Amino acid sequence: MDMQSYFGVSTPSPLLSSSSTSVTTPDTDYSDDRISVNTVVEDASYIFVIGGLGYIGSHTVLALVNEGYNVVVVDDLSNSFSTVFDRIKLLAAEYCRANCRDLPLLRFYHLDYRSSSMRALLWHYRARTISDLTTLAGCRSMVAGVIHFAALKSVSESLEKPLAYYQNNVGGLVDFLSTLQEFGIKRFVFSSSATVYGSLANHGVPLREQHCVHQTETYLDALGRERVAESGVRGLTSPYGRTKWMCEAILADVATADPSWQIAALRYFNPVGCHESGLLGEDPRQIPTNLFPVIIRVLAGAQPACNGAETVLDGADPVLNIFGTDWGTSDGTAVRDFIHVADLARGHVAALAALIRGTIEQPFRTFNLGTGQGHTVREVVDSMEKASLRQIPVRNAERRKGDVGSCVAEVQRARQELGWSAEKTLGECASTAWAFVINSEKAQPLD
Ligand code: UD1
């Protein structure tokens, strides 16, 4: 389907690059003095994607470019690989060729968004049409929006290194917002998480945005009764989770103080799957702890295939621990709302488009990005066995500390206000995740 019509963008936005036909060479190993002003096309607008080469970021960058946005990727490669950028370029070029579209501008700067280089970069993307550029006050920018993915995201690591998490995720955001404000950039999409619902997820009901708010809100419940939601949440179980909640609270405060900000915080449920090409996927530098990547490591190990063949990879896990088989669910294993990463990526484009259109009334708004449907851990195991035609050896284990039994999104708000909903099934999540494994085995390593 044409993404433009899917998102309800009927006329080309000023952001869409109609004249650019080339993709610039990645500016890797970026430093202040190497920014070339010549790389900035002065009559264009850009979306900055911070942390744009990671798992969700890379799929979002591709979705943005396919939709016609000029994109500047900033990534410090701490948990990603520069070759991901080449793959995005390749896929974008293929998509644009197949759809007879010009290729928007796409650039990559290898830098830490918290470094002073970020300010220098934003300076180069300031609007040049303003006569008085001697001060930053009132300076407009060619950056029409920022999508911020760059954050540490391991629950277990955050328990060991809480300060690193608060420093990077919270401190980094505060400084970054201040810088953006100086440059007059106030359109911001934030990567949040369903983890902000804390122990509310234990209640077994679909989670609504109103279950976690940062200012008192009145809303109608499922039966049409008026309810008051107070700010705050209970039962956050990790520093990682607290950073996400704090960041949302900070963003809400910033937007209250200055309603000219336009901020969308996207609460991801469980992102899984990969791009259908098998070229983009989840390939972190760190050892994974999330269910899908762990299953893939097990599958990559010495597991007998259903057809009798056998593959052995060094260092792979021999068995999947199923954490908790006594939850009050259909088969006793935990339920999650698994959302395909391509759907999630489209959700970011939809949120950005809504901010640009100005159709979101509040200066700060949260959105659940999930499917609205839960699947158990065992159902995931079954779907991965089906996709890979291999058996996954499992061991029943104790509940993992901090886990909840069921975490499923209520998805009405995103549907109504963003015109977005997830489309892909768990089977598609499994088959594309497996395609990435197969492709990675055939291809050169990413780095
Ligand atoms: C986890 C984080 C959440 C974060 C999200 C990002 C915790 C407690 N929560 O969510 O804050 O936003 O990742 O994707 O870590 N499972 C197994 N065996 C495994 C791995 C997982 O049985 O080897 C189970 C888990 O116990 C859980 C389910 O699979 O019941 C999903 O786990 P996971 O993929 O780690 O995601 P969440 O815990 O939902």
Assign residue 323 a region: left if phi > 0, alpha if psi is -120 to 50, beta otherwise? beta
Alpha helices (H) in 152-232, listed in sequence order: 155-160, 162-165, 172-182
Residue ranges in 71-171 assigned as alpha helix (H): 83-98, 116-124, 155-160, 162-165
pTM for this prediction: 0.87
Nearest CA to ligand 1 atom 13: 290
pLDDT tens digits for 359-387? 999 999 999 999 999 999 999 999 999 99
Among 323, 327, 341, 398, name the best residue to mutate to test ligand 1's pocket (greatest count of ligand atoms within 8 A of Cβ).
Answer: 323
Nearest CA to ligand 1 atom 33: 290
CB 427 within 8 Å of CB 387:
yes
Nearest CA to ligand 1 atom 21: 291
CB 392 within 8 A of CB 298: yes
Residue with the nearest Cα to atom 6 of ligand 1?
A: 270
Sign of CA dihedral 44, 45, 50, 55: negative
Average the pLDDT over 185-197 and give the result: 96
Is the pLDDT assigned to residue 313 strictly greater than 50? Answer: no
Residues in the chain: 447
Q: Give the sheet arrangement for strand 406-407, strand by strand.
A: 375-376, 335-336, 406-407
Q: Write down the pLDDT at residue 203.
A: 75
Q: Is 240 a catalytic residue?
A: yes
Tens digits of per-residue pLDDT, 76-113? 998 888 999 999 999 999 999 999 999 999 999 999 99
> 393 near 299, Cβ under 8 Å?
no
CA angle 101, 106, 112 (to 5 degrees): 160
Q: How many CA atoms lie within 13 A of 429 on its CB side?
A: 28
- Which atom of ligand 1 is nearest the CA belonging to 401? 8
Distance CA 375, CA 391 (A): 19
Res. 239 pLDDT band, cuts 50 70 90: very high
Terminal Cα distance for the chain, rounded: 33
- Range with top average pLDDT, 28-37, 229-238, 319-328: 319-328
Higher local confidence (pLDDT), 354 or 315: 354
- In tens, the pLDDT along 395-429 reads 999 999 878 889 999 999 999 999 999 999 999 99
| 133 has a pLDDT exceeding 80 | no
Tokens standing for 152?
Answer: 């540490």
Which residues' Cβ are closer than 6 Å to ligand 1? Answer: 155, 193, 195, 240-241, 270, 289-291, 294, 320-324, 334, 336, 377, 400, 402-403, 407
